[in-house]
């Protein structure tokens, strides 16, 4: 497996997406080493001096006024990590912990954190050899940094905590030893450099973004099939309509749908003589809604790309002027805003998808499709309750889409009196995207049934390929059967990009 080279300040969303999906090991650009080590020397000098420097020779948070003797600075940092390992809840998926580690490398690579290069080496080797800290998912309020989860990550590097290695959950020291690695003692400020940062929140927000983008691509393909299923018009996809508005995501969404529907016999069969004047908004306004979600996710992506490359701990070692300064880069407000934006986009893609499901199962609106898309309605209920499930998931996502960043609360004896709540704002995206993919999966089942009811007319070549991929795993619903396995299967096809791959049409990229 090739090793990814990380360049702080230049690592793009596309790079981070490849690391997320591919699970590849990564190493910091060796050109960073000089600045990293210079900052570490500056911290060592401060630790040996008489002047109080926050987090180097003082306590933390509300205890910052307590001066720490130079001989106790190493114990101070170790105590910091151990005392902050207060996370609770389910373990974070290994893929996300690895992304957290990559983001911490990028942050250290800016040369402002004061950690020794030996810790960079150890993180890199853990990534390469598959030692993944066990990090509980809950406990961060997104300032000052993702303290608890990052402490659990850092604990393994000093031989504490727990880590996964070789398919087992082991004590941190044992996991390192089995991988041929050794823990390191913490020097001045190094513990603080690990836990003051936004890497937990940012990793979850990035993962949510990457998964949501894949869902948006699926939505373009599946909604095109729904358009053919109800014999909808492609006139609203004409390029000039979208150029006249000028919104880039809308323009790209319409172009993709035109390409997906090109060559459909179903569409050509009702181009003339159709008594309907307009389709409902869930068909007619697909580019405007999904396109807007695309634009919002790209805005959020730009924020997260910047954050991924940022130095976000405290204090920071400045080169011009040569000072160690306390600031607030650990406050994850930008990440919180980005996560809320992504949540809104996910909710809206699901909302309009659910309305297309409702349209297709309703004989009053589906243009002669049978009720609930079953050949013998009455005896069979068809996809009646699958549609109800999508309504439940849509409503759940609407609740989850409420902003988290506005919900601040003071912590740490009011020293940390405004926080971002970015951590659970970002974590909730995973649940929302699962819900969205379930909705899209049901829409695909409905659209496929609808298109097949239009036989002998056939849909476009790209959508015929999608239909063939679906039918390889899920049979047509000719009579009622136990549907739960079908929903599970189609969810997997959507989430794993099998549908977009089968379609073969170029789709908007992040």
**Residue 194 neighbours by CB under 8 Å, 6+ apart:** 81, 104, 115, 150, 151, 153, 154, 157, 313
Alpha carbon distance 142, 339 (integer Å): 12
Q: How far apart are CA 124 and CA 119, in angstroms?
A: 9
Residue of 4, 20, 54, 482 with catalytic role:
54
> How far is residue 34's CA from residue 303's CA, in Å, rounded to a whole number?
28
Q: For the chain, percent helix, then strand, then coil, each to nearest 5?
A: 60, 5, 35
> Is 54 an annotated catalytic residue?
yes
Cα gap 170→202, rounded to integer Å: 26
Evaluate whether 61 touches 415 at the Cβ level (below 8 Å): yes
CA 468 vs CA 32, 229, 348, 462, 488: distances in Å: 50, 16, 28, 10, 18
Torsion of Cα atoms, 123 then 129 then 133 then 134, to 10°: 160
Using alpha carbons, list the distances in angstroms from residue 374 to 366, 382, 388, 476. 13, 5, 16, 10
Q: How far apart are CA 318 and CA 287, in angstroms?
A: 47
Phi, psi of 366 (to 5 degrees): -90, 5
Q: Are 192 and 162 in contact (CB under 8 A)?
A: no
Scored b (16 or more CB within 10 A) or e, 220-230 reads bbbbbbbbbbb
Q: Which residues are catalytic?
A: 54
């Amino acid at each position: 497996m090739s090793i990814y080279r990380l360049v702080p300040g230049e690592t793009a969303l596309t790079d981070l997406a490849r690391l997320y999906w591919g699970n590849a090991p990564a190493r910091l650009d060796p050109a960073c080493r000089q600045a990293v080590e210079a900052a570490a020397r500056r911290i060592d000098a401060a630790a040996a001096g008489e002047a109080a420097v926050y987090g180097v020779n003082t306590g933390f948070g509300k205890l910052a006024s307590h001066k720490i003797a130079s001989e106790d600075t190493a114990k101070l940092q170790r105590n910091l990590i151990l005392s902050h390992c207060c996370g609770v809840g389910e373990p974070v998926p290994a893929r996300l912990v690895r992304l957290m580690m990559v983001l911490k490398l990028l942050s250290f690579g800016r040369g402002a954190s004061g950690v020794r290069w030996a810790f960079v080496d150890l993180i890199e080797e853990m990534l390469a050899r598959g030692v993944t800290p066990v990090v509980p998912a809950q406990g961060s309020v997104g300032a000052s940094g993702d303290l608890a989860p990052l402490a659990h990550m850092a604990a393994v590097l000093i031989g504490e905590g727990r880590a996964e290695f070789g398919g087992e959950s082991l004590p941190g020291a044992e996991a390192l030893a089995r991988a041929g690695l050794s823990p390191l003692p913490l020097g001045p400020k190094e513990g603080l450099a690990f836990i003051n940062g936004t890497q937990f929140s940012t990793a979850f927000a990035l993962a949510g973004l990457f998964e949501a983008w894949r869902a948006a691509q699926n939505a373009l393909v599946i909604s095109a099939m729904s358009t053919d299923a109800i014999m909808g018009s492609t006139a609203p996809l004409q390029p000039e309509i979208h150029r006249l508005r000028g919104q880039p995501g809308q323009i790209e969404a319409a172009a993709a749908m035109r390409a997906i529907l090109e060559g459909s016999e179903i569409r050509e069969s009702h181009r003339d003589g159709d008594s309907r004047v307009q389709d409902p908004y869930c068909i007619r306004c697909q580019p405007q809604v999904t396109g807007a979600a695309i634009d919002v996710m790209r805005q959020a992506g730009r924020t997260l790309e910047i954050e991924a490359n940022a130095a976000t701990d405290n204090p920071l070692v400045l080169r011009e002027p040569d000072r160690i300064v306390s600031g607030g880069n650990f406050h994850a407000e930008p990440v919180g805003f980005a996560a809320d934006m992504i949540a809104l986009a996910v909710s809206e893609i699901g909302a309009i998808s659910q309305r297309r499901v409702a349209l297709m199962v309703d004989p009053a609106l589906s243009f002669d499709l049978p009720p609930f898309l079953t050949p013998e309605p009455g005896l069979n209920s068809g996809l009646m309750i699958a549609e109800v499930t999508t309504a439940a998931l849509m409503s759940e996502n609407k609740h989850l889409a409420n902003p988290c960043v506005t919900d601040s609360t003071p912590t740490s004896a009011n020293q940390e009196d405004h926080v971002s709540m970015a951590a659970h704002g970002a974590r909730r995206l995973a649940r929302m995207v699962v819900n969205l993919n379930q909705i899209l999966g049901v829409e695909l089942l409905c659209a496929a049934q609808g298109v097949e009811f239009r036989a002998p007319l056939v849909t476009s070549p790209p959508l015929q390929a999608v239909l063939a991929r679906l039918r390889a795993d899920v049979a047509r619903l000719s009579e009622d059967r136990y549907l739960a396995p079908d929903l599970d299967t189609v969810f997997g096809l959507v989430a794993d990009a099998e549908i977009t791959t089968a379609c073969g049409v170029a789709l908007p990229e992040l």
